[in-house]
A = this chain, B = another copy of it.
Amino acid sequence: MGHGQGQDRPDTRTRIQDAATVLFRRNGYAGTGLKQIAAEADAPFGSIYHFFPGGKQQLTEETVRTAGAAYSCMVLALLDSVADPVESVTHAFATAADDLEATGYADACPIATVALEVASTNETLRIATADVFTEWIAAGEQWFARWVPDPGTARSLAQSLIMILEGAFVLARAARDREPLCAAGRSMAALLRSAIEEAGRPSA
């Protein structure tokens, strides 16, 4: 434990990054102030620039990459928790709906709002969000490859899952209704079922 902390409270740097993750996810990049982040993290304002000399952009880039990787791990673990692939996809969307509802329709995708905000305004952050999505697609492709032999089909399924999930988050947060996520789960299950069926009859 090194020089010891005396409490189980995370260090200042971690608290700042965690607070930034929460606030960017709910209020977006432009809608979140550094003072607000410092307050939420219970850290002095100057500490932000001590740990993130690059200012708001550096803090956001690290937040996007870290939260993006964590979300990927979380979703893959969720998908692995059910044996049947079609049931697993359905279950994953239902769980996403549960989480969204439980957080008052606040905690959806950790980077989507920022991604749309910076796509045309900040090249460094745009690339950070693009890298995260690329990693998600690669991970999803690997998962689908277990059930669908053709790599192109597996990749297409991974892309579609991410896209329909992102779109469902937009509609569900706007309407404060879980139904879009349920509909998304049904469509994604149908898509996967078709792909598995197709692979089952290698006639074509």
Contacts and interface: CB of A to CB of B under 8 A. Distances in A.
A106 interface: yes
A5 interface: no
Which 5 A-B pairs rank lowest in CB-CB distance, beginning with the nearest?
A163-B167, A166-B167, A30-B30, A30-B31, A119-B173
Copies, count: 2
Interface string A107-141: 00000110111011100001001100110000000
Interface residues of A, number: 46
A171 interface: yes
6 contacts: A112-B116, A115-B170, A119-B173, A156-B183, A156-B187, A163-B166
A148 interface: no
Contacts of A164: 160, 163-164, 167, 187
A68 to B, nearest CB: 11
Contact of A175 (B27, B133, B194): B133
A144 interface: no
A159 B133 contact: no
A17 to B, nearest CB: 20
Contact of A166 (B130, B133, B166): B166
A191 interface: yes
A116 B170 contact: yes
B130 A186 contact: no
A70 to B, nearest CB: 18
